[in-house]
Amino acid sequence: MINASLKELATALGAKQISSVELTQLFLDRINRLNPEINAYITLDADRSLAQAAAADALIAQGKAGPLTGIPFAQKDIFCAQGWRTTCGSKMLENFVAPYDAHIISQFDNAGAVNLGKTNMDEFAMGSSNETSYFGKVQNPWDRARVPGGSSGGSAAAVAARLAPAATGTDTGGSIRQPASLCGLSGLKPTYGVCSRYGMIAFASSLDQAGPMAKSAEDLALMMNVMAGFDTRDSTSLQRDTEDYTRDLNQPLKGLRIGLPREYFADGLDAGVAKVVLDAIEQYRKLGAETVEVSLPNTQLSIPVYYVLAPAEASSNLSRYDGVRYGHRAAEYTDLMDMYCKTRAEGFGAEVKRRIMVGTYVLSAGYYDAYYLKAQQLRRLIAQDFEQAFKQCDVIMGPAAPGTAFKTGEKTNDPVAMYLEDLYTIAVNLAGLPGMSVPAGFSNGLPVGLQIIGNYFSEARMLNIGHQYQQVTDWHKQMPQGIE
């Protein structure tokens, strides 16, 4: 069961081959055995999970089951879930119990799914390695000495280690696609506004987007049918007709035009990763696709633009954590200002403090025009690059990350090297486009992801492209050793 797809699990549940309670207990037992080392989960509540499973079994018995009813999912600890501790990987929220559900959580609850637990993450989603979490680093199941990627590293490690059939993640600059690549998973960052951000703890509001992480593109499509949808409580949520993201999965790829950005295959890309990606693209040619070279000339500007805009938004969003209403409060202080200072000094980690200071600086008088405003102008140019590219192709393909999973601690003292991990993913968020990573092979025994970038609202087509590739390859079925 641990390797079954979501559709296979639904079939088994419907046929009474296994109950949701039994399935949930199977994964809880695996979590109890493997999580102490991998550290993929922050919070578990077995009684609550099993109660949800029992309720799902009742729905199945009544013939009221949906496609995901009774299936357990891991939820990134950035989503508020009523009655669950919700920490966002930070000491600041170490003991915070959410009084309400995020829209994404409600959607899974309404679908009859089971919440297995809350997964580890970089603190406030700030990081590319899952080493900034207050609750400790996450280990990559493919090599315990390496990182799983971030910030959704806990979700990625949980699915890779078969501690959950699938999981939710969030992507601000690549935080679904990069860990999916490093852990051998499929992961989708939808078009900005397709999934509600209500109840998703904010990092950079104009960039954050929830998305699914699973073993296959077909699993992603089933999750998107639950996660996507309009929500009046989120002002950035888009009001669109309901989509069936599985509708195009079996469409042939003949005539598909794939754009290959020359900037994605230049200096900085590991040779082993490049070979895997090019081999995957060759497989697409065999499936009937054609390739064309395109250019995204402002790609190199995406990282400096992101690290002006994202910290600016973070400094604003994180100003609410001051010890007054909720979260950590310093034990000793002399006055209100002292309480603010000590609470934030104690509650935030080094990376969060770094980004708050950068963000406050670029928004300050005298620097706003020079940095923040200029970055917004460049963001528009980056989006225009994609507009021009999509006049020549249907999707863009390239690497999801410049290398494979790096060793724990290798880049913690070099923030710039860490930031460069998101070189190929950040521009997608700046433009608000959908992006996906699918397993494409291995380099030196470590997984490599192929990134597929689509035009706005082309998720169903992208999932079709990923699914067709996975019909002729088995990279997505590979499992790390030692986790049986």
Band (484; pLDDT cuts 50, 70, 90): confident
Domains identified in the chain and CATH numbers = 6-252 (3.90.1300.10)
Distances (CA, A) of 195 to 42, 200, 320: 24, 10, 24
- Cβ(57)–Cβ(45) below 8 Å: no
Tens-place pLDDT, residues 193-224:
999 999 999 999 999 999 999 999 999 999 99
How far, in Å, CA of 376 to CA of 369, rounded? 10
* Percentage of the chain exceeding pLDDT 90: 98
Task: Check residue 436 and give left, alpha or beta (phi > 0: left; psi -120 to 50: alpha).
Answer: beta
Q: What mean pLDDT is reported for the chain? A: 97
How far, in Å, CA of 131 to CA of 416, rounded? 15
Establish whether 437 is a catalytic residue.
no
Tens-place pLDDT, residues 303-349:
999 999 999 999 999 999 999 999 999 999 999 999 999 999 999 99
Which amino acid is residue 5, in one-letter code? S
Question: Which neighbouring-strand residues pair with 442?
Answer: 447
- Cβ(248)–Cβ(461) below 8 Å: yes
Choosing from 90, 151, 186, 437, the catalytic residue is 151
How far, in Å, CA of 182 to CA of 468, rounded? 21
Question: Which neighbouring-strand residues pair with 438?
Answer: 450
CB atoms within 10 A of CB 335: 7
pLDDT at 438 over 90: yes
- Cβ(146)–Cβ(407) below 8 Å: yes
pLDDT at 112: 98
How far, in Å, CA of 182 to CA of 178, rounded? 6
CB atoms within 10 A of CB 47: 8
Tens-place pLDDT, residues 253-278:
999 999 999 999 998 899 999 999 99
Tens-place pLDDT, residues 91-113:
999 999 999 999 999 999 999 99
Burial zone of 429 (CB within 10 Å; 0-12 exposed, 13-18 middle, 19+ buried): buried
pLDDT at 483: 86
- Cβ(89)–Cβ(121) below 8 Å: yes
pLDDT (mean) for 450-454: 98
Length of the chain (residues): 484
Choosing from 5, 19, 20, 76, the catalytic residue is 76
Establish whether 175 is a catalytic residue.
yes
* Percentage of the chain exceeding pLDDT 70: 100
- Cβ(253)–Cβ(287) below 8 Å: yes
Tens-place pLDDT, residues 16-74:
999 999 999 999 999 999 999 999 999 999 999 999 999 999 999 999 999 999 999 99
How far, in Å, CA of 181 to CA of 237, rounded? 27
- Cβ(206)–Cβ(199) below 8 Å: no
Establish whether 151 is a catalytic residue.
yes
pLDDT at 482 over 90: no
- Cβ(289)–Cβ(256) below 8 Å: yes
pLDDT at 238: 97
Tens-place pLDDT, residues 219-256:
999 999 999 999 999 999 999 999 999 999 999 999 99
Choosing from 20, 49, 175, 315, the catalytic residue is 175
